[in-house]
Amino acid sequence: MRKTILLITLLILTISSIFVGVQSISIMDVFDLDSNQSLILWSTRVPRTISLIIAGATASVCGLIMQHLTQNKFVSPTTAGTMDSARLGILVVMIFFPNASNINRSLIAFIFSFLGSLLFIQLINLLPHKNQVMVPLIGLMFGNIIGSVVTFFAYQFQLIQNMSSWLQGNFATVSRNGYELIYVSVPLLLIAYVYAYQFTLVGMGRDMASSLGLNYRLIQLFGLGIVAIASSVMLVTIGNLPFLGIVIPNLVSLYMGDQMKQTLWVTAGAGSAFLIFCDIISRVIIQPFEVPVSLVVGIIGSVIFIILLLKGGEK
């Protein structure tokens, strides 16, 4: 029943996303569009909606994987230094390889984000007690340190404005022939589903996973690789989407439990619906202008994140 409601909600939001914007396109005229409306529909609205669905699903599933790998409900690429490490990689590209293609940018961002995620895992392994609240706070501080380094060198090379505008989560610039790299995330979601059982076992801890014959370290590295690739591609094509990878997996787990095989596609669908909803708000709140969707996601997501932190701290 819940899955049906989610599917219907996602469908309604998807249709709304296609027909909401500055240029009026009525759903009643979809089979009788003029040339201008047809251009807008197929060059911007449809690509934008597709990228919203994929980005929302990717960010949510990446958060779900990270939470299982770290055995902590409040960890995601945005609170584990993964996205900040990818930003450092993007800065390196902009300084040393300014003419690099998006694929090369994604590759270097992947290397940095993967190494940053590994370093974060090592940091939390040094904690004597993995407090549910302390781990994400350490991740935020770790990410802020990397972010400070990025900001410092961006100022030094006069790239701060370029970095800030380019890496801010925004779908306003998504158009045909300019967003297709995000399709790389689709097979990654399928791979994550195939290995969902293994990720669930890793979430039970090293001893439990090893006793069941699982190579704990290998699966952990494999999961980090999936998250790093997906996060890098999303950062290069869309930008940063804060808190999405935390709140959606937590809200889904409240109703469906922690068995990743059962919750992965629900998490992906809920993430897509949430992001489309936030994007619609970003388009209509100050029409005819548009605010970055990361701002709306950050406001709503941060409120939910604080509530989840307070509830986690009470346990």
pLDDT in tens, 76-101: 888 888 888 888 888 898 888 888 88
Residue ranges of domains in the chain, CATH in brackets: 50-314 (1.10.3470.10)
Rounded CA-CA distance 226/208 in Å is: 23
Give percent above pLDDT 90 in the chain: 21
- What number of residues does the chain have? 315
Q: Which of 19, 41, 43, 36 is nearest to 177 (CA)?
A: 43
CB atoms within 10 A of CB 166: 15
Average pLDDT, the chain: 84
DSSP code for 27: G
Tell me the pTM: 0.87
Q: Name residues of the chain where pLDDT drops below 70.
A: 1, 24, 27-30, 128-132, 165-167, 175, 177-178, 312-315
pLDDT of residue 315: 47
